[in-house]
Amino acid sequence: MTARPRLLPLLLTQKGRLLRAVGFSDRRPLGDSESAARRFLGWEPDELLLLSVDDPNGAREFADLVARLRRISAVPLTVGGGISSRETAALLFHAGADRVALNAGALARPDLISEVADRWGSQAVVMTLVCSQSAPGRAWRVERRTADGGYLDAGTQALDWALACAKLGAGEILAIDRQRDGTGLGLPLPLIETLARELPVPLMAAGGVDGPEDVVDGFAAGAAAVAVGNALHYRELGYPHFRSAVDEVPAETRRAVA
């Protein structure tokens, strides 16, 4: 049975500010992140993806934001950023997160995935892969963020790391093409096709969405979910417009997994 494809607003936040990102590094403030989140939650999306780029010392402030959002909405919340320990994950779950998105902390210490999955279940763990491709036709590589906000090769191919994360207990993989992020050039369809074909868990894709047609293409390529960031901030109808376009696509043309 084919599941209804999930469409998620993606909010990038830093110290309470909503950010517009290009290449996941060139970040510009757009306004208040809580106000934006409340607007998206008012549309009752399938889920909300909230990623913080604060340093680990900002975990408490981020958890407070999650708690305020949970008090006003029952929409599932997937939150990530700066999670380097089970204690930080616990802080976010206690605040009301349904799932946590791991990234750098798990790259540095893969056992973190198992620790969180063993305590809260695999369904509560999303592993984020920030990927890039050195040239067309080359394998996508995982990247890690540096102290100065840039990105370097993390030493592994995207597929290999995604498979390892699923084996360690991640219940979903979030693949972000850093080179397409914020460009509106469309999702990385070959990457989506490869990961969706090989992974034993659902795939969420992000990076490059400009319009509803890009989201539809992502589902057709095999994504179970697509997260949309910048493209939702500049459209009056925003999420409902994207959701309607996706729902109009015949189910038989989708490859979203149950």
Where does residue 114 rank: exposed (0-12), middle (13-18), buried (19+ CB within 10 A)?
Answer: middle
Residue 49 lies in a domain: yes
Q: What is the pairing mode between strands 17-22 and 26-32?
A: antiparallel
Q: What is the pLDDT of residue 109?
A: 96
Q: What is the pLDDT of residue 248?
A: 82
Q: How far apart are CA 199 and CA 164, in angstroms?
A: 10
What is the tens place of the pLDDT at every residue in 6-18? Answer: 999 999 888 888 8
pLDDT higher than 70, residue 42: yes
Provide the token pair at 121. 């279940």
Residue 1 lies in a domain: no
pLDDT higher than 80, residue 95: yes
Helix-helix angle 59-72:33-42, to 10 degrees: 30
Range scoring the smallest mean pLDDT among 197-211, 212-226, 229-243: 229-243
Provide the β-strand partners of residue 144.
152
For residue 139, what are the domain limits? 6-253
Helix-helix angle 212-221:238-247, to 10 degrees: 40
Total domains, the chain? 1
Residue 79 lies in a domain: yes
End-to-end CA distance of the chain: 7
Confidence of residue 55 (pLDDT cuts 50, 70, 90): low
- What percent of the chain shows pLDDT beyond 70? 88
Residue 165 lies in a domain: yes
Range scoring the smallest mean pLDDT among 32-41, 51-60, 204-213: 51-60
Task: For the chain, give the mean pLDDT.
Answer: 87
Range scoring the smallest mean pLDDT among 132-136, 156-160, 175-179, 221-225: 132-136
Residue 20 lies in a domain: yes
Residue 213 lies in a domain: yes
pTM above 0.95, yes or no: no
pLDDT higher than 50, residue 256: no
Q: What is the pairing mode between strands 99-102 and 77-80?
A: parallel
Residue 239 lies in a domain: yes
What is the tens place of the pLDDT at every residue in 163-182? Answer: 999 999 999 999 999 888 77
Residue 258 lies in a domain: no
- Residue 50, domain CATH: 3.20.20.70
